[in-house]
Copies of this chain bind each other. A is one copy, B any other.
């Protein structure tokens, strides 16, 4: 089993509720390579309902894009330097801008698949396009700009 992007984050950056290995109460989203794209899988618990009980609430969908996007940005930035995460100095990203388009209700009780592809990588800025799907149905799309932390 490969190690998730988020599990390479230095300990001081590992507390995120969405994806940090050091947050005991969080979602622990984990992102991996899938060829040239990245992928994360997540099945929301029943408490993360939208207004209507059988639909996922929008905030969780935005959260999944946000955490998968930042992990993926680190993956893409490392590969652009011909190295994998865990090799050499780690690069950690934060969200500058996140846009989510909700195409249709996202069902509860099924595994959701989040995918990211690289759009542009310029200096410390990584721009990605993402999809969130339930089975064969794309429920939401996102575009995100992540920026590498300097420290």
A interface residues with partner B (beta carbon < 8 Å): 9, 12-18, 20, 23, 25-26, 47-53, 57-60, 62-64, 66-67, 92, 94-102
Copies, count: 2
Which 9 A-B pairs give the minimum distances between C-beta atoms? Answer: A59-B63, A62-B62, A13-B51, A99-B99, A25-B47, A58-B66, A16-B51, A17-B57, A15-B49
Q: Which of B48, B49, B60, B98 contacts A99 (CB 8 A)?
A: B98
**For chain A, what secondary structure do more than half of its interface residues adopt (helix, strand, loop), or is it mixed?**
mixed
Distance in angstroms from A49 CB to nearest chain B CB is 5
- Given the complex, which residues of B lie within 8 Å of A63, measured CB to CB? 57-60, 62-63
Distance in angstroms from A124 CB to nearest chain B CB is 15
